[in-house]
Amino acid sequence: MNYSDFKKCTLELENGMVFPGYAFGALASARGETVFSTAMVGYPETLTDPSFEGQLLCVTYPLIGNYGVPAREVDGDGLHSTFESERIHVRALIISDLSFDYSHWSAAMSLDEWLWEQGIPGIWGVDTRRLTQVLRENGSMLGRLVQENGIAPDFEDPNATNLVAAASCSHVIRYREGAGKKVVLVDCGVKHNIIRCLLKTGVEVVRVPWDYDFNADKTMDDYDGLFISNGPGNPDLCETTVGHIREAMKRGRPIFGICMGNQLLAKAAGAKTYKLRYGHRGHNQPVRMADSEKCFITSQNHGFAVDETTLPDDWEPFFTNLNDGTNEGIRHSSKPFFSVQFHPEASSGPLDTMYLFNHFVSML
């Protein structure tokens, strides 16, 4: 492996900074919002997480690709057991050191081969620590990946478009009909592990598109609980979903939301959301449960947050981020509605808050 064997490419930021590196994966250009994640493992899960739709992802851990990429496996429910969705959602991967030779019993191909197969460009040899500092100081920035002698695409803000619409399913999908209690899952770009976690508790899941009016569908009128999934982009572009949630709240059945689901539930309750400077992306985010000494390490991936000060009186914070004090979850003071900003389903990340799925199902 010699550096001279690789094509050069560059990452350019909207502020004019240029980061040189070497190309891998697909030799294509890309554009989107540049974000960083501090997770040290889990690139197959992360890259297929629909919440990363529209983003150029910088991984702060420098050695990537070590254990290759597992084979695509679909389980009995039609869910991907090794990935979080059907495809890679990040638009480009930015790293420091790439393992072309991988080693793991479960691997089927290298990261380089996988990105190539999926048509996603990568850049390695980047000073990712510096890039992270720039994003930290300036906030997430638009960026573009340009191949040597290639044409530079114009910068584009993915948050201006409705990314949820792109990441959501297009029709109703039913899992394990008649298995038990029925949960309607509003898919804003759901990670497959969320569905797996719900199914593991023994419930039936009805997965509906983000803008589907489940309140009006007689076939799901008898649902026991509502789940609002994670998803990419700006919650302000999902007013349709917020309207449906607000309608559902009137029926008083249990509601559980994760990530985007937290923001949409908050909006339905009447609170506001805002864009964080550079978001939380990683496996080491500490949260504390309100009014307790209970703390958890959580997996997170979000650029927007709930403004706690705008919560109506009958709502209260459920979890708070110990690093920066931002909201990590809300709950209704009397009704069975709650949501969290972090990812209890992990995949990738720590499993500390997995119990929330059982908590939800026990309310049904």
Structure tokens at 281: 């992306």
Cα separation, 25 vs 118, in Å, equals 8
Q: What are phi and psi of 318, to 5 degrees?
A: -105, -45
Tell me which of 7, 136, 251, 277 binds another protein, using CB under 8 A.
Answer: 136
Q: Is 39 in the site for another protein (CB under 8 A)?
A: yes
Query: Least CB distance from residue 281 to another protein, whole Å?
Result: 9
Pairing of strands 295-307, 272-289: antiparallel
Asked whether the beta carbons of 196 and 226 are under 8 A apart, the reply is no
Segment 137 to 196, residues that bind another protein, using CB under 8 A: none
Query: Least CB distance from residue 332 to another protein, whole Å?
Result: 25
Segment near another protein (CB under 8 A); pick from 122-130, 151-159, 202-210, 263-271? 122-130
Segment near another protein (CB under 8 A); pick from 173-181, 244-252, 284-292, 326-334? 284-292
Q: Is 251 in the site for another protein (CB under 8 A)?
A: no
Tell me which of 106, 333, 358, 362 binds another protein, using CB under 8 A.
Answer: 106
Segment 64 to 83, residues that bind another protein, using CB under 8 A: 66-67, 70
Q: Is 103 in the site for another protein (CB under 8 A)?
A: yes
Cβ of 188: how many Cβ atoms within 10 Å? 31
Query: Least CB distance from residue 300 to another protein, whole Å?
Result: 11
Q: CB-based burial of residue 216 (10 Å sphere; 0-12 exposed, 13-18 middle, 19+ buried)?
A: exposed
Q: Is 347 in the site for another protein (CB under 8 A)?
A: yes
Segment near another protein (CB under 8 A); pick from 128-136, 150-158, 200-208, 249-257? 128-136
The residues that bridge with 110 in the sheet, in sequence order, are none
Segment near another protein (CB under 8 A); pick from 23-31, 32-40, 71-79, 326-334? 32-40
Asked whether the beta carbons of 347 and 330 are under 8 A apart, the reply is no
Q: Is 96 in the site for another protein (CB under 8 A)?
A: yes
Cα separation, 202 vs 181, in Å, equals 8
Q: Is the peptide bond before 292 cis (omega within 30 degrees of 0)?
A: no
Q: Which is nearer to another protein, 51 or 128 (CB)?
A: 128
Q: Is 62 in the site for another protein (CB under 8 A)?
A: yes
Residues with catalytic roles:
259, 343, 345
Q: Is 2 in the site for another protein (CB under 8 A)?
A: yes
Cα separation, 345 vs 196, in Å, equals 9
Q: Is 34 in the site for another protein (CB under 8 A)?
A: no
Could you tell me which of 98, 90, 77 has the C-alpha nearest to residue 45? Answer: 90
Tell me which of 86, 117, 139, 323 binds another protein, using CB under 8 A.
Answer: 323
Tell me which of 152, 179, 216, 295 binds another protein, using CB under 8 A.
Answer: 295
Segment near another protein (CB under 8 A); pick from 23-31, 59-67, 111-119, 233-241? 59-67
Query: Least CB distance from residue 100 to another protein, whole Å?
Result: 8
Q: DSSP for 31-49, please give it.
A: EEEEEEE--SS-HHHHHT-
Q: What are phi and psi of 185, to 5 degrees?
A: -110, 115
Buried b (16+ CB within 10 A) or exposed e, 299-314: bbbbbbbbebeebeee
Q: DSSP for 49-114, please give it.
A: -GGGTTEEEEESSSEE-TT-EEPP-B-TTS-BSSSSSSS---SEEE-SEE-SS---TTEEE-HHHH
Contact set with another protein (CB under 8 A): 1-4, 19-20, 36, 38-42, 44-45, 60-63, 66-67, 70, 96-97, 99, 101-106, 127-130, 132-133, 136, 282-286, 288, 293-295, 297, 322-324, 346-352
